[in-house]
Amino acid sequence: MSIEIEYLGGPQIKELALTDEQILDAVEGGLIAAGRGDTVIEPRMHLAPGRSDGHFNVLRGVIGDYAGVKVVGDFVDNYKSGLPSEMALLNLFDPVNGAPKAVIDAAGITDMRTGAVTAIGAKHLAPEKPRILGHIGARGTAYWNVRLLDHLFDFEEIRVHSRRPKSREPFGERLSQDLGKPVIVTEDWESCLKDADIMVEASRLREPTPMFDPAWVKPGALVIPYGTMSSLPLEFVDGIDAFFMDDLGQMNAGDFGALRPHIQAGKVTRDSFRAEIGEVAAGAKPGRKSADETILFWHRGLATSDIALGVRMLELARERGIVMRLPYA
């Protein structure tokens, strides 16, 4: 019996030119399936080679007719050698017999689905008619955060900041051109985040550093921190009225994450969380309950989101005849 593997590389994915709605629909469908208990999700794992300032994230899950394993490298100094900081592959398998089914360049998937989870979280948890977005970070996922959030909310004001001027200035220019509106590039965290309605923190800190002052958070705001190393001081969580997460099974997994110091200090526990975002999207549990409720949404990344988006890409690529088929056995 012969087995072929479908392959989608970066050029094929770029050719697909997925719309914002296609990305959001695929990822929200995966979140709703998770919220209904129709998926299998294993906590992410980290592999640190110890040869540079970087690590691999390994995400695993099952949704529908596919099991998937995504391996994504997160190497913060890659810009020095002209490489992306994040590169990834998504491997898809038959969940019945284990046969390999597809290999997909997952760098773009990672960026798109992360932005989609940020946006879908805001769809269900943000204050009504948010006007101002403050966004820290300019990595690949950051672009899709801002793009998909603005697709949903059409902000009156967008502020962005990143540590390196060489990254933040082009980032702001690209967003302004693609969104067709001014984007304010700030020189510090405070002027970016203070009093924004939605505050996204996707920084690339080398170690946990308390950069995010809780005094900048106004009542009713939505805070979405997902930097690998925490930027939140321990007292930050004292002003949060409700916590949400993408997958509570990952709350205690690994050594990294925005709330890792707070969990280790006992300031955030499983009981702190009202719901997983998939449960909210599925209508199984409530999201925001009042206009003045200050909410924190922490997402660490779900393999099932990657799989849902990857499968959608495969379907579209088959329709266009651009899938490569490689012999396996």
pLDDT of residue 55: 87
Judgement on whether residues 8 and 37 belong to the same structural domain of the protein: yes
Query: What global pTM score does this model have?
Result: 0.92
CA–CA separation, 201 vs 195, rounded Å? Answer: 14
Phi, psi (rounded to 5 degrees) for 303: -60, -35
Query: Roughly what angle, to the nearest 10 degrees, separates helices 140-153 and 20-35?
Result: 90
Judgement on whether residues 200 and 290 belong to the same structural domain of the protein: yes
Q: How deeply is 4 buried, as exposed, middle or buried, from its count of CB atoms within 10 A (0-12, 13-18, 19+)?
A: middle
pLDDT of residue 301: 84
- Pair of tokens at residue 198: 């939605």
**Quick check: 202 and 226 in contact, CB under 8 A?**
yes
The DSSP bridge partners found for residue 71 are: 58, 89
**Quick check: 163 and 146 in contact, CB under 8 A?**
no
For residue range 75-132, what is the model confidence (pLDDT) as tens digits?
Answer: 888 888 888 888 999 999 999 999 999 999 999 999 999 999 999 999 999 999 999 9
CA–CA separation, 76 vs 93, rounded Å? Answer: 30
pLDDT classification of 243: cutoffs 50, 70, 90: very high
Higher-confidence position of 167 and 124: 124
What CATH number is attached to the domain comprising 9? 3.30.1780.10
CA–CA separation, 113 vs 90, rounded Å? Answer: 13
Tell whether the model's pLDDT for residue 181 goes beyond 80: yes
Is the residue at 274 inside a domain?
yes
Judgement on whether residues 259 and 153 belong to the same structural domain of the protein: yes
For residue range 256-305, what is the model confidence (pLDDT) as tens digits?
Answer: 788 999 999 999 999 999 999 999 999 999 999 999 999 999 998 889 99
CA–CA separation, 123 vs 149, rounded Å? Answer: 8
Judgement on whether residues 273 and 145 belong to the same structural domain of the protein: yes
The DSSP bridge partners found for residue 54 are: 75
pLDDT of residue 241: 97
What CATH number is attached to the domain comprising 136? 3.40.50.720
Residue-number span of the structural domain to which 32 is assigned = 4-109+304-327
For residue range 2-47, what is the model confidence (pLDDT) as tens digits?
Answer: 899 999 999 999 999 999 999 999 999 999 999 999 999 988 888 8
Average pLDDT over the chain reads 94
Judgement on whether residues 272 and 316 belong to the same structural domain of the protein: no
Tell whether the model's pLDDT for residue 255 goes beyond 80: no
Phi, psi (rounded to 5 degrees) for 106: -105, 10
Judgement on whether residues 169 and 292 belong to the same structural domain of the protein: yes
Longest CA pairwise span in the chain (Å): 64
Place of tokens 């046969």: 99
DSSP string, 243-304: EEES-GGGTT-SS-STTHHHHHTTSS-GGGEEEEHHHHHTTSS----STT--EEEE----HH
Residue (of 293, 278, 253, 329) closest to 30 by Cα position: 278
pLDDT classification of 238: cutoffs 50, 70, 90: very high
Is the residue at 116 inside a domain?
no
Percent of the chain at pLDDT > 90 equals 81
Tell whether the model's pLDDT for residue 319 goes beyond 80: yes
Tell whether the model's pLDDT for residue 1 goes beyond 80: no
pLDDT of residue 134: 98
**Number of independent structural domains in the chain:** 2
Tell whether the model's pLDDT for residue 49 goes beyond 80: yes
Judgement on whether residues 237 and 272 belong to the same structural domain of the protein: yes
